[in-house]
Amino acid sequence: MKKINTANICTLFLILLNADFLLSCNTTSSPSPKNTIRLENSESPFIYSSVFDSAKIVSLNLPDSLQIGSVDKLLKYNSYYILVDKKYTKSIFILDQYFNFAQKISMIGNGSKEYEDIIDVTIDTLAGNFYLYDRRKINLYQLPDFFLKMS
């Protein structure tokens, strides 16, 4: 029986491993995921009627002392609308079904019940909770009264 040299086997293994690595690092063609949406820049305007059946312009009934800088996110929960201003006021505005001001959530700071920034907000309609994420923690508000439940 012929004796196998382990040094030759190790060398052959390393050569095969390097060849596999070099062949698998092909940057010219990579498979795209199945659920990919390709977005292309277009000079033509977006036609909203191709997506929406109708649109309605509403007036927000806010006190004169209250300002909304931008609406970065709009959520609906039962008969409430939740407007999120991440950039300017870093606040969340709660409006009723007729777009009347109901409440403002604005607790900016470093305390346990405060937030520094609004990264995202979401609603868990099954549990009746509203979540505010600010990179450090997630504040949990109880719906529909929007009181801070825990942080």
**Residue ranges of domains in the chain:** 52-150
What pLDDT sits at residue 130? 85
pLDDT tens for each residue of 68-124: 999 999 999 888 899 999 999 999 999 999 999 998 999 899 887 889 999 999 998
19 CB neighbour count, 10 Å cutoff: 10
**pLDDT tens track for 19-63:** 444 555 555 555 555 556 565 666 777 777 888 888 888 888 999
Instruction: Tell me what pLDDT residue 10 has.
Output: 46
**Residue 147 has what pLDDT?**
66
Q: Tell me the CB-side half-sphere exposure of residue 102, using CA atoms within 13 A.
A: 16
Asked if residue 108 lies in contact with residue 114, where contact means CB atoms within 8 angstroms, the answer is yes
Between 82 and 16, residue with greater pLDDT: 82
Residue 50 confidence (pLDDT): 81
pLDDT at 9: 53
**For the residues of the chain, what is the DSSP string, one character each?**
-PPPPHHHHHHHHHHHHHHHHHHH---S--PPPTT-------SSPP-GGGT-S-------B--TT-------EEEEETTEEEEEE-SSS-EEEEE-TTSBEEEEE--BSSSTT-BS---EEEEETTTTEEEEE-SS-EEEEETTTTEEEE-
CB 99 within 8 A of CB 58: yes
pLDDT digits over 128-151, tens only? Answer: 888 999 888 888 888 766 666 654
CATH assignment of 52-150, among 2.40.10.360, 3.10.129.10, 3.90.660.10, 1.10.3720.10? 2.40.10.360
Rounded to whole angstroms, the Cα distance separating 61 from 98 reads: 8
Residue 17 has pLDDT above 70, yes or no: no
